[in-house]
Chains A and B, each alone.
Chain A
């Protein structure tokens, strides 16, 4: 059991998303930063798709009522136990009765807390992800509130081995003496270069807009959330006004409403959209998008789908290696 002593700004339970129901208009949701979510799971000996806690900008205070292995990945929300910083990107044993307190984000904006076994909430349409607007999934379909009690599912053998290795009766927590390879850690800053493929309606935009899109920076607006990011930069105009036929949109689709200010769609995006899409963010850079906050600068660099898929294949290989390493080290 985990007790929420004080909730953060927006703590929601997320997994890899609600797949298979978009044809019924059901939003996919899932972790905004799928990479950090997955690494957090792997580090505690989970399979990868278990539900974690996604925390945004200001995190909660959590009381652990049992000995448990956790890991925290993603943005730095200053996790501490009894004032002592808890290291990120590695497994951490937490002794029962300890209180894990998150603060405000000092790098990035979203952190993921994985627990060995995963956070146990009912599965709704194949997923444990919270979709607040429709009040489905996660913890009663909403963000966590002070006083909520979270259950933990049964851990794997690997998790049990990690716990045995790190377990202590002395300190409130003990972190592993290793962490994931530096090449896997995201670079968090205030300026991000993001790989983008041309969108399905790229050719409908005029030359000046296409140039501006690739060569000028965009600023993340405060009107940004799990559904989408509004960004401000050079106005993007079509060669001629056309009414588009609504079609499917996806995570990372950059659509441009008539006012010329683009919206980047994110995890809680609607399933279909009727605005032209100038670009599509490469999956490899969802982490950067998820970690960007209001005021941060985004610059778009063109990639082809071939390059984009190669990068994803490479990341997949790295994560498989990480998983293999952990399951050999702890058994």
Chain B
């Protein structure tokens, strides 16, 4: 496997497997993650996978005059010399219910008009795709999702909203995503899911993990209410 090592400050190192997003990069990131999970080296605090990189934060105290960075790099080189390729195992599909339009999806009409479609057509296209979670980042449990049809792509809003409610489903450019917690943002909002993506009291605290496959399906306001239970 080809990769580059470079420091991210004095407490982390970045393993970069490619300079652009590719299937091979995705596979190599996965293989490195599997290798780190298996080895769990004592100097590793945690690792964070992204599109083309895996970053490892570390803490190491040395008696020798070797620097922690050099030590960690040579450890990583040893580990990755024996890295096994992970097959593209078929994870189960996570199905995410969405109540489209209305107060929860104020920009559904815009996305439809922008693409010369009806709102029903936007929903049909959004629910018929199979998506991949490339990475979790930006906010707790926030999935970077790839695989949306360009037929429903829409530019970000010129002025971001100051607060987007938790669990809102949006579109920005060619991406679709779900906001796990309330945050400001410029995405076009098309609906809302009743299920939580960020689960602070569970382990793992995120519904989704990098590599997951997902599908969206449409629900009615009644189903939405029922799925929320007593919460609202």
Q: Contact residues of A with B, CB < 8 Å?
A: 19-27, 124-125, 133-136, 197, 200, 245-253, 270-272, 280-283, 305-306, 308-310, 312-313, 316
Contacts and interface: CB of A to CB of B under 8 A. Distances in A.
A230 to B, nearest CB: 15
Interface residues of B, number: 47
A24 B48 CA distance: 8
B144 to A, nearest CB: 7
Given A23-B46, A25-B142, A250 B9 contact: yes
Nearest to B134: A246
Interface stretch (B61-69, B83-91, B115-123, B185-193): B61-69
Contact of A316 (B61, B135, B183, B209): B61
A248 B181 contact: no
Interface residue SS majority, chain B: loop
Given A21-B205, A245-B21, A245-B52, A197 B9 contact: yes
A317 to B, nearest CB: 10
B10 A305 contact: yes
Given A134-B198, A248-B55, A26 B140 contact: yes
A24 B135 CA distance: 9
A243 to B, nearest CB: 10
Given A253-B9, A313-B62, 19 more contacts: A23-B49, A23-B210, A24-B204, A25-B136, A25-B137, A25-B142, A26-B141, A26-B205, A26-B206, A133-B181, A133-B183, A136-B200, A246-B138, A248-B8, A248-B53, A270-B137, A280-B9, A281-B9, A305-B67
Interface string B7-44: 11111101000011100000000000000000000000
Contacts of A282: 9-10
Contacts of B46: 19-23
A119 to B, nearest CB: 20
A313 B69 CA distance: 12
A45 B228 CA distance: 47
A247 B21 contact: no
Contact of A283 (B10, B47, B198): B10
B50 A25 contact: no
A22 B200 CA distance: 13
A271 B9 contact: no
Contacts of A200: 6, 8, 14
Nearest to A283: B10
Contacts of A281: 9
Contacts of A245: 19-21, 50-53
Interface string B94-137: 00000000000000000000000000000000000000000111
A252 B10 CA distance: 10
Nearest to B139: A25
A19 B48 CA distance: 11
Interface in B145-188: 180-181, 183
B1 interface: no
A197 B141 contact: no
Contacts of B61: 313, 316
Given A133-B181, A245-B52, A316-B61, A25 B206 contact: yes
Contact of A272 (B137, B141, B200): B137
A195 to B, nearest CB: 10
A134 B69 contact: no
Contacts of B140: 24-27, 134, 136
Contacts of B52: 245, 247
Contacts of B9: 197, 250-253, 280-283
A246 B20 contact: no
Contacts of B138: 25, 246, 270-272
Nearest to B199: A24
Contacts of A312: 10
A38 to B, nearest CB: 14
Nearest to B18: A245
Contacts of B14: 200, 247-248
A134 B200 contact: yes
Nearest to A312: B10
Contact of A271 (B45, B48, B181): B48
B36 to A, nearest CB: 10
| A-B pairs, 10 with minimum CB distance | A272-B137, A24-B206, A248-B55, A280-B9, A308-B10, A25-B136, A248-B48, A22-B48, A26-B140, A247-B53
